[in-house]
Amino acid sequence: MTELSSAVDADVVIAGAGPVGLMLAAELRLTGVRTIVLERLPEPADASDGVRGMHARTLETMDRRGVLGQLMADAEPVGPDGRGTPVDDLKGPRRVMSGSHFAGLALLELGRLESEHPYALVTSRARIEAVLIERAEELGADIRRSHTVTGIEQSADRVVVSAETPDGPRQLTARYLVGCDGGRSAVRKLSGIPFPGNDPTVTAHVGRADIVEEHDLPVGWYRTDDGVMLRGGAGHGIMLIEFTGAPDSRDEPTPQDFQAAFRRVTASELTLTNIRHLRRFTDNTRQAEEYVRGRVILAGDAAHVHAPFGGQGLNLGLQDAVNLGWKLAAQVHGWAPPGLLDTYRAERHPVAARVLHNTRAQVALMNPSPEVTPLRELFADVLRLPEANRYLTEMITCVDVRYGADPGDGPVHPWDGRLVPDLPLKTAEGPVPLVEVLRTGRPVLLDLGDRADLRAAADRWRDRVDVVTARCEQPVDTEAVLIRPDGYAAWLPDATHPSDQQVSTLSWSLAQWFGAA
């Protein structure tokens, strides 16, 4: 432990114990970073916090950390209409969806994705949090509830975090503070980071209710003269979208609010009963200009907010956490090369900007105005084209995310800058899938061609990079790949270059991403 480490309460303080903060805490603890998580709420999420969708790229990431099995326990497959057993509580069944939507239109065909998990998992936020709490605490994260961040003071080598706690005001000192505290982030506001964007044009009410009277309201997406309704059938949720701007109040909606919105959108006098699990959202769309300011960092909704159409927000935030975790750990451990932490914003800001863009497009296509109807119908026709459907499906699921390419003038390998697919490997110890190799959260040089020269070059980084020699049990067109802790390819050998040049570019990439040897 360094002198600075012993002088602070934690290496990293995280504000927010939602899924993003918990995922980041687990990533940091994988490498031994002392981590404290401050959460203003006294208890984790419960059934009233609703359900969330986890897309292919997030499921692949969870598999690489060994928690996918817990999330998938008792999962129940459903048809492409997305309907199945309701998820009402932490212990209830999960749903696996083979389709998704864009603006409530024709389903995006998740089953055609080039992914190990070409589907969406729908489960309660409570279950997601429970799995991530267990993982973070098993790894040694210190989660403190009923702790509200009230002040931040930065200096050259640390940040002092003031918080209201059950024992009164307290200050914590850390090397870094990460705000994972949601769209109304106290960390972002206290740090003065600008959050520009677009004001709400819609208000949506979400909840569960029963309709006891006879009716002919359809199941699924239903566009009316006064808004949009999504109804999941008996026992499922109801979403009511009105194009009336921001709500008059930020208070939680009441059953009366939900009933009134239902009647406005459906133009009916039907009465809802057993109204429960209410929440409200808008299409407030904003993105932080800075993800890193000094020793304060933003992730998840603290860095970007948007309408939840397509179920992209949770996935975006979890991918932020996995991208940031190893880079921040490198800073703490002292081996980060110059500019490594800057790549967090460089890589993640454009991904979030595209999500903000496509959710605004979805809102525009949902508008009940008659002028929008021809555009909506034309867009539905376009979605039936396989290439268009694949384009939007890969965008919504982030399967097409590709980070910066390697230097050199050779052809770009399909894996370059992308998540390396799971591979069936055979090592000296026996068969093992690549996803299991990556569960340590360490960089890996995967030698698939018995390249002693590449292994020797990587040996100088053995304190922070694992070298795995294996034979792949399926055809691959590379002899090696350098894999970052988040699973993305950092380097592949150019087959047109001589071996000594390949060794040189590998050494360059090792230093670029993992510091000087």
> Which pLDDT does position 47 carry in this prediction?
76
Domains within the chain, CATH numbers bracketed:
10-198+286-357 (3.50.50.60), 203-282 (3.30.70.2450), 418-514 (3.40.30.120)
> Which pLDDT does position 76 carry in this prediction?
55
Could you tell me which residues are beta bridge partners of residue 237?
208
> Which pLDDT does position 80 carry in this prediction?
42
> What is the helix (H) or strand (E) element at residue 274, kind and residue range?
strand 272-282
Over the stretch 310-353, which tens digit does the pLDDT of each residue have?
Answer: 989 999 999 999 999 999 999 999 999 999 999 999 999 999 99
Would you list the DSSP string of 423-446?
A: -EEEETTEEEEHHHHGGG---EEE
Task: Provide the residue count of the chain.
Answer: 517
Other beta carbons within 10 angstroms of residue 244's beta carbon come to: 15
Tell how far CA 62 is from the center of its chain: 10
Q: pTM for this structure?
A: 0.93
Query: pLDDT 10s digit of each residue in the chain, 517 long?
Result: 444 556 899 999 999 999 999 999 999 999 999 999 999 999 999 877 878 889 999 999 999 999 999 998 865 544 444 444 333 333 344 556 666 889 998 788 888 899 999 988 888 899 999 999 999 999 999 999 999 999 999 999 999 999 999 999 999 999 999 999 999 999 999 999 999 999 999 999 999 998 888 888 888 888 999 999 998 765 568 999 999 999 988 888 999 999 999 999 999 999 999 999 899 999 999 999 999 999 999 999 999 999 999 989 999 999 999 999 999 999 999 999 999 999 999 999 999 999 999 999 999 999 999 999 999 999 999 999 999 999 999 999 999 999 985 445 456 899 999 999 999 999 999 999 999 999 999 999 999 999 999 999 999 999 999 999 999 999 999 999 999 999 999 999 999 999 999 999 999 999 999 999 9
> Which pLDDT does position 422 carry in this prediction?
97
As a 3-state breakdown, the chain gives helix, strand, coil percent values, each rounded to 5, of 35, 25, 40
> Which pLDDT does position 207 carry in this prediction?
93
> Which pLDDT does position 7 carry in this prediction?
82
How far is 111 from 386, CA to CA, in rounded Å? Answer: 12
> Which pLDDT does position 423 carry in this prediction?
98
> Would you state the structure tokens that stand for residue 374, as one six-digit string?
């021809």
> Which pLDDT does position 96 carry in this prediction?
64
> Which pLDDT does position 330 carry in this prediction?
99
